């Protein structure tokens, strides 16, 4: 039987040539933005003027022209998809250009260590001294090991390729999901554009970490769930593929898997309500069964430590929220832990971005309510997405607490899929196809795109400020306790020396940044101590005392690494050695240099390494309890 | 249509075999490894599986999403499958596994290729989907991105900070192993002095190191010396100031 033309087009078999529209000129502009941004990064490396201007100009050049064109009523589906794919890949370069030669984000080191363990032992689940939970979720490391084996690339080069592919998958799936749910490819593009304005997209979800891969896999499962085949012969294949996708997500990241299960249950509940009202709303029972089944098996076996790990994170957040409600504590918005406040224009953009999204959401909801009968079979998915999108304003409140801000950033990656679908309807109103077609705006045809360009520029740049502190978005000289800005050649050299001179897997006490470098470049085992007597107490006393000795012996610490630069500033992220350290006792002053130098005069302690900023002490002689 | 489909899946199967071969042997270096290895892990297994499971065509975005998505899913669980084999996960096994999945998937897809549909005319394979001026703009865009990455890599490599010198000393039985590493970004000259309770055990008067170079030596500590040995490093440009200082306790065998 011959296929109809519409079906042919959907299945890619049509003879009609593809109209690429403005794709290629827009790509050139966007690529120019990448070059401008790279120039800005290089100026920032040498602390030259103009770095910020070049960075923000480049960022907006990368994003706004393709986003605007992808939303244009005149663009064809193929052009929109190509533009969105290009955007996914070009925006991935923003983090790469910041530090192109090495991994530098905090979480990346934990996953790199799991990868090192996998490559060295040939087995999964080896203990990870940097991020213990990482060894229970080896999906990312498994994919990375395969990519490195096939290409021969080192981890720092292979990681952006793997994560870039995951982000491309994520954007394609969001496009297909929103297109299916809302019934138009323009809505699909709009949902993707809004998703790119999620604060986590530019940096947090671009790092070599399990969530970055898991988001793409979760979107794939959602896409498959929405596209259950009608033919029975195809359904078996669908089951198999869905099972593979569910298993891969469950072994990759806990929170993303739970968020997906939560959404599927919400969708099922919405479908149940609609069915009572006589609407034919399909229920996602097979995906729920597969996800829950895989998750339970994983939690009962390799994922056992997950519950205590997440309980600690959410417990801390709950305590902070409670303290905030009771007016006992809180976190200043746009203020780093060391008291550094972001410039006014950045604060205004951050607030403006959130305000514009919050204001646009009710408009989108009204529009969706008006059009609710167009896609009757999709209604349950649509309302489930609407409920999830309500989590966005709630997540903004979490930014008022330190741990809450961390949780809010992690939520962004999932919530914004729903926010994107809701806002797709608003964007359609902002640049309406029907008005443009009717010629009503013929004399002022530039108004809708210009207004849309401003909206996109504010929302996108504001979101990037909210998601990653601007001081950490650009490269530059070493900063104390500033995540990626604290990784420099001095620390890498010290960590690499430990592997060459001391061998692997020695127990170390060190600050957060150097612990990460020791655990990867050095293949050493940094310790964090216990909850009652954490390792950081070793550095928070003016003289070497019995508590210090007890910590060394209890944790079998053989080497102590001291970074004297810590005494020059309060850490940007709020901690030198570990969250919860007694830094408040310093009254906003940096840790005294004399406290860090105390190991120089302890009898029996060898100072075995010195590069000016970093010293390494061998405290092995103190471990013998008979001394 | 059937012939074109057959050729496409045969080419994919052959590509997987070649890519796996290159990955296993390292022939062709990094460039060929990347050109073939990236598709082998991130595209081909999913593409072959999609073709095998759903022989009827799909739109390009749908096919792309399934190809990348299923490839990533397979790569994410591949180590799980290999973990319980004797010898566990090795780079070669990961490559062979993904190559095998692609090969089998492509063979099944070729066998299940759809019958010709008279309404479905494939595009002329010799006519490129983009015109010459569009191709030129695409090349320009790629060149701009390439320039940006090159610029960033060079910038990051050159921005090494103010420069530093590493010094180390490790105790050995009746001796110490000492070393220097010059990361100042330019050639440097040092004087290295090994002391024991104020008495000089050994002096290296002129240690010249090029940028990035390392130097190491072993010095024996005589039986009559004290247990703590001190190493002092001076820079030739500032000969009076101690630039680096280390101290270790040396254990004596037979004492």
Query: pLDDT (tens digit, 9 = 90+) per residue, A107-126?
Result: 999 999 999 999 999 999 99
Cα–Cα dist A176/A169, whole Å: 11
What pLDDT does A6 receive? 45
Bridge pairing between strands A507-509 and A525-526: parallel
Cα–Cα dist A452/A445, whole Å: 12
Cα–Cα dist A511/A539, whole Å: 9
- Return the percent helix, strand and coil in chain A, to nearest 5: 65, 5, 30
What pLDDT does A586 receive? 83
**Residue reference for tokens 């010396």:** B225
pTM score of the predicted model: 0.92
What pLDDT does A440 receive? 53
Cα–Cα dist A405/A417, whole Å: 19
Contact A137, A253 (CB under 8 A): yes
Contacts of B234 (CB under 8 A, 6+ apart): B190, B191, B192, B193, B240, B241, B242, B243
- What is the least distance, in Å, from the CA of B224 to any CA of chain A? 19
Contacts of A173 in chain B (CB under 8 A): 65, 69
- The Cα angle at residue A397 between residues A214 and A199, in degrees rounded to 5: 40
- Is B117's CB within 8 Å of A153's CB? no
Contact A134, A210 (CB under 8 A): yes
Residue A250 vs residues A94, A266, A365, A398, A533: alpha-carbon distances, Å: 29, 19, 32, 26, 34
Q: B171: which 2 tokens?
A: 């105790």
Taking 50 as the threshold, does the pLDDT of residue B201 lie above it?
yes
Please indicate whether residue B25 or residue B237 has the higher confidence score (pLDDT).
B237
- Is A13's CB within 8 Å of B57's CB? yes
Residue B26 pLDDT level (bands cut at 50, 70, 90): confident
Residue-averaged pLDDT of chain B: 86
Q: Given B23, B68, B133, which is nearest A169 (Cβ)?
A: B68
Paired with A509 in beta bridges are: A560
Residue A236 vs residues A245, A293, B49: alpha-carbon distances, Å: 14, 18, 13
What pLDDT does B121 receive? 52
Closest CA to A77 of A222, A210, A180: A180
What pLDDT does B60 receive? 86
Inform me whether the C-beta atom of residue B18 falls under 8 Å from chain A C-beta atoms: no
Contact A486, A478 (CB under 8 A): yes
Please indicate whether residue A261 or residue B88 has the higher confidence score (pLDDT).
A261
**Residue reference for tokens 């070393």:** B179
Closest CA to B59 of A469, A7, A510, A73: A7
Residue B255 pLDDT level (bands cut at 50, 70, 90): very low
- Is A38's CB within 8 Å of B152's CB? yes
Taking 50 as the threshold, does the pLDDT of residue A514 lie above it?
yes
What pLDDT does B168 receive? 97
Element (H, E) at A560: strand A559-563
Q: A222: which 2 tokens?
A: 């959602």
- For B116, which DSSP code? P
**Residue reference for tokens 């053989």:** A558
- Structure ipTM: 0.91
Q: A74: which 2 tokens?
A: 């005149």
Residue A13 pLDDT level (bands cut at 50, 70, 90): low
What pLDDT does A561 receive? 97
Phi, psi of B163 (to 5 degrees): 90, 150
Residue B72 DSSP SS3: helix
Phi, psi of A160 (to 5 degrees): -65, -30
- For B163, which DSSP code? -
Q: A332: which 2 tokens?
A: 């200043």
Inform me whether the C-beta atom of residue B111 falls under 8 Å from chain A C-beta atoms: no
- Residue-wise pLDDT tens digits, B146-158: 999 999 999 998 8
- Residue-wise pLDDT tens digits, A467-482: 888 889 999 999 999 9
Burial of A183 (C-beta count, 10 Å sphere; 0-12/13-18/19+): middle
- Residue-wise pLDDT tens digits, A237-278: 889 999 999 999 999 999 999 999 999 999 999 999 988 888
**Residue reference for tokens 């529009």:** A367
Residue A328 vs residues A316, A379, A589, B58, B115: alpha-carbon distances, Å: 15, 44, 22, 58, 72
Cα–Cα dist A225/A290, whole Å: 11
Q: A171: which 2 tokens?
A: 């954007």
Q: What is the largest CA-CA distance in chain A?
A: 91
Q: Mean pLDDT throughout B227-243?
A: 92
Q: B135: which 2 tokens?
A: 């191709």
Contact A609, A586 (CB under 8 A): no
What pLDDT does A382 receive? 80
Taking 60 as the threshold, does the pLDDT of residue B180 lie above it?
yes
Within 10 angstroms of residue B142's Cβ, the number of other Cβ atoms is: 13
**A 265-304 near B (Cβ less than 8 A):** none
What pLDDT does A12 receive? 53
Residue A321 DSSP SS3: helix
- What is the least distance, in Å, from the CA of B128 to any CA of chain A? 10
Taking 90 as the threshold, does the pLDDT of residue B118 lie above it?
no
What pLDDT does B125 receive? 47
Residue A362 vs residues A7, A333, A368, A458, B233: alpha-carbon distances, Å: 35, 25, 10, 19, 69
Taking 60 as the threshold, does the pLDDT of residue A356 lie above it?
yes
Smallest CA–CA distance from A161 into chain B, residue: B38
Cα–Cα dist A435/A433, whole Å: 6
| Chain mean position to CA B175 | 38
Paired with B169 in beta bridges are: B178
Q: Mean pLDDT throughout A546-575?
A: 94
Cα–Cα dist A159/B42, whole Å: 12
Q: Mean pLDDT throughout A135-164?
A: 95
Please indicate whether residue B30 or residue B40 has the higher confidence score (pLDDT).
B40
Paired with B170 in beta bridges are: B177
Please measure the distance between the N-terminal and C-terminal CA atoms of chain A and give it in whole angstroms.
90
Contact A428, A190 (CB under 8 A): yes
Closest CA to A94 of A44, A23, A20: A44
Rg (CA), chain B: 31
Taking 60 as the threshold, does the pLDDT of residue B117 lie above it?
no
Taking 60 as the threshold, does the pLDDT of residue A367 lie above it?
yes
Closest CA to B194 of B254, B250, B255, B251: B250
Q: Mean pLDDT throughout B39-53?
A: 92
Please measure the distance between the N-terminal and C-terminal CA atoms of chain B and give it in whole angstroms.
88
Cα–Cα dist A325/A323, whole Å: 5
Q: Mean pLDDT throughout A599-624?
A: 94
Burial of A499 (C-beta count, 10 Å sphere; 0-12/13-18/19+): middle
Cα–Cα dist A475/A46, whole Å: 9
Cα–Cα dist A563/A613, whole Å: 6
Taking 90 as the threshold, does the pLDDT of residue A398 lie above it?
no
What pLDDT does A51 receive? 95
Long-range contact pairs involving A592-597 (C-beta distance under 8 Å, separation at least 24): A592/A542, A592/A567, A593/A564, A593/A567, A594/A542, A595/A539, A595/A540, A595/A541, A595/A542, A595/A567, A596/A539, A596/A562, A596/A563, A596/A564, A596/A566, A596/A567, A597/A562, A597/A564
Q: Mean pLDDT throughout A38-49?
A: 94
What pLDDT does A311 receive? 86
What pLDDT does A626 receive? 57
What pLDDT does B150 receive? 97
Q: A403: which 2 tokens?
A: 């741990």
What pLDDT does B29 receive? 78
Q: Given A217, A223, A475, which is nearest B73 (Cβ)?
A: A217
Taking 90 as the threshold, does the pLDDT of residue A309 lie above it?
no
Residue A448 pLDDT level (bands cut at 50, 70, 90): confident
Taking 80 as the threshold, does the pLDDT of residue B172 lie above it?
yes
- Out of A8-17, A371-380, A416-425, B87-96, pick the least confident: A8-17
Cα–Cα dist A147/A22, whole Å: 34
Cα–Cα dist A129/A125, whole Å: 12
Residue-averaged pLDDT of chain A: 88
- Out of A125-139, A142-156, A532-546, pick the least confident: A532-546
- Return the percent helix, strand and coil in chain B, to nearest 5: 45, 25, 25
Q: A604: which 2 tokens?
A: 């029996």
Cα–Cα dist A615/A494, whole Å: 8
Cα–Cα dist A439/A427, whole Å: 19
What pLDDT does A494 receive? 97
Q: Given B57, B144, B152, which is nearest A100 (Cβ)?
A: B152
Taking 60 as the threshold, does the pLDDT of residue B245 lie above it?
yes
Contacts of B125 in chain A (CB under 8 A): none
Q: Mean pLDDT throughout A354-362?
A: 91
Contacts of A191 (CB under 8 A, 6+ apart): A174, A175, A177, A178, A182, A417, A420, A421, A423, A424
- Is B147's CB within 8 Å of A610's CB? no
What pLDDT does B183 receive? 94
Cα–Cα dist B70/A169, whole Å: 10
**A 436-495 near B (Cβ less than 8 A):** 475, 477-478, 488-490, 493-494
Q: Given A41, A151, A220, which is nearest B69 (Cβ)?
A: A220
Q: Best interface-test mutation with A: which of B32, B60, B72, B93 has the largest number of A CBs within 10 A?
A: B72
Q: A313: which 2 tokens?
A: 């994170």
Bridge pairing between strands B214-220 and B175-183: antiparallel
- Residue-wise pLDDT tens digits, A14-33: 556 678 889 999 999 999 99
């Amino acid at each position: 039987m011959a296929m109809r033309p519409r079906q042919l087009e959907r299945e890619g078999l049509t003879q009609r040539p593809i109209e690429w529209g403005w794709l290629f000129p827009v790509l050139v502009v966007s690529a120019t933005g990448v070059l401008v941004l790279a120039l800005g990064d290089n100026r920032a490396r040498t602390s030259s003027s103009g770095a910020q201007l070049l960075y923000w100009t480049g960022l907006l050049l990368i994003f706004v022209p393709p986003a605007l064109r992808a939303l244009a009523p005149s663009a064809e589906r193929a052009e929109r998809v190509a533009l969105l794919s290009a955007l996914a890949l070009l925006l991935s370069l923003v983090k790469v250009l910041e530090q192109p030669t090495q991994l530098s984000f905090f979480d990346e080191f934990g996953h790199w260590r799991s990868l090192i363990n996998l490559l060295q032992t040939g087995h999964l689940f080896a203990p990870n001294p940097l991020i213990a939970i990482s060894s229970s979720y080896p999906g990312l490391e498994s994919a990375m090991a395969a990519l490195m084996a096939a290409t021969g690339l080192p981890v720092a080069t292979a990681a952006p390729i793997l994560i870039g592919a995951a982000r491309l998958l994520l954007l394609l799936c969001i496009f297909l999901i929103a297109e299916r749910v809302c019934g138009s490819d323009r809505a699909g593009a709009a949902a993707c554009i809004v998703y790119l304005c999620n604060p986590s997209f530019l940096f947090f979800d671009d790092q070599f970490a399990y969530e970055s891969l898991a988001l793409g896999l979760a979107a794939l499962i959602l896409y498959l769930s929405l596209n259950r085949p009608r033919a029975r012969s195809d359904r078996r294949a669908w089951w198999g593929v869905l099972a593979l996708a569910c298993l891969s997500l469950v072994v990759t990241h806990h929170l993303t898997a739970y968020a997906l299960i939560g959404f599927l249950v919400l969708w099922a509940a919405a479908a149940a309500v609609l069915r009572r009202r006589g609407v034919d709303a399909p229920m996602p029972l097979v995906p729920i069964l597969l996800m829950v089944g895989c998750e339970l098996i994983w939690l009962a076996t390799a994922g056992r430590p997950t519950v205590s790990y997440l309980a600690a994170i959410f417990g801390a957040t709950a305590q902070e929220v409670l303290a905030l409600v009771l007016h006992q504590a809180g976190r200043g918005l746009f203020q780093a832990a060391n008291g550094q406040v972001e410039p006014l224009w950045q604060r205004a953009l951050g607030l403006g971005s959130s305000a514009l999204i919050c204001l646009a959401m009710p408009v989108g909801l009204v529009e969706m309510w008006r059009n609710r009968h167009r896609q009757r079979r999709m209604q349950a998915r649509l309302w489930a997405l609407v409920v999830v999108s309500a989590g966005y304003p709630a997540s903004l409140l979490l930014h008022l607490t330190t741990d809450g801000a961390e949780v809010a950033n992690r939520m962004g990656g999932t919530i914004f899929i729903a926010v994107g679908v809701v806002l797709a309807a608003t964007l359609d109103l902002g640049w309406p196809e029907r008005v443009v077609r009717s010629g009503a705006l013929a004399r002022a045809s530039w108004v809708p795109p210009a207004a849309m360009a401003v909206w996109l520029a504010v929302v996108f740049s504001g979101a990037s400020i909210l998601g990653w502190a601007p001081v950490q978005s650009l490269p530059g000289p070493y900063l104390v306790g500033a995540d990626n800005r604290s990784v420099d050649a001095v620390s890498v050299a010290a960590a690499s020396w430990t592997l060459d001179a001391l061998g692997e897997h020695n127990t170390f006490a060190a600050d957060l940044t150097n612990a990460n470098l020791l655990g990867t470049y050095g293949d050493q085992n940094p310790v964090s101590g216990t909850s009652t007597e954490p390792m950081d107490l070793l550095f928070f006393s003016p003289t070497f005392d019995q508590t210090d000795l007890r910590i060394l012996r209890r944790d079998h610490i053989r080497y102590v690494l001291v970074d004297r630069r810590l005494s020059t500033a309060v850490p940007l992220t709020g901690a030198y050695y570990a969250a919860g350290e007694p830094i408040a006792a310093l009254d906003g002053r940096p840790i005294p240099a004399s406290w860090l130098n105390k190991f120089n005069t302890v009898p029996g302690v060898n100072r075995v390494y010195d590069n000016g900023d970093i010293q390494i002490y061998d405290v092995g002689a103190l471990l013998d309890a008979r001394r | 249509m059937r012939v074109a489909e057959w050729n496409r899946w045969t080419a994919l199967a052959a590509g997987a075999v070649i890519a796996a071969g290159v990955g296993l042997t390292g022939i062709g270096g990094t460039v060929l490894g990347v050109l073939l290895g990236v598709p082998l892990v991130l595209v081909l297994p999913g593409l072959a599986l999609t073709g095998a499971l759903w022989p009827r065509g799909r739109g390009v975005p749908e096919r792309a999403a399934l190809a990348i998505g299923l490839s990533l899913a397979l790569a994410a669980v591949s180590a799980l499958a290999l973990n319980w084999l004797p010898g566990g996960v090795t780079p070669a096994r990961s490559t062979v596994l993904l190559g095998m999945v692609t090969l089998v998937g492509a063979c099944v897809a070729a066998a299940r290729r759809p019958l010709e549909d008279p309404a479905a005319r494939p595009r002329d394979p010799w006519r490129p989907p983009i015109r010459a001026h569009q191709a030129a703009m695409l090349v320009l865009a790629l060149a701009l991105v390439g320039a940006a990455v090159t610029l960033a890599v060079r910038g990051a490599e050159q921005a090494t900070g103010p420069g530093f010198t590493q010094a180390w000393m490790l105790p050995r039985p009746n001796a110490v192993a000492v070393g220097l590493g010059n990361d100042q970004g330019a050639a440097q000259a040092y004087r290295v002095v090994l002391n024991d309770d104020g008495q000089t055990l050994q002096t290296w008067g002129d240690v010249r190191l090029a940028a990035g170079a390392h130097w190491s030596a072993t010095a024996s500590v005589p039986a009559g010396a004290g247990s703590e040995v001190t190493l002092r490093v001076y820079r030739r440009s500032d000969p009076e100031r101690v630039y680096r200082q280390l101290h270790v306790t040396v254990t004596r065998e037979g004492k």
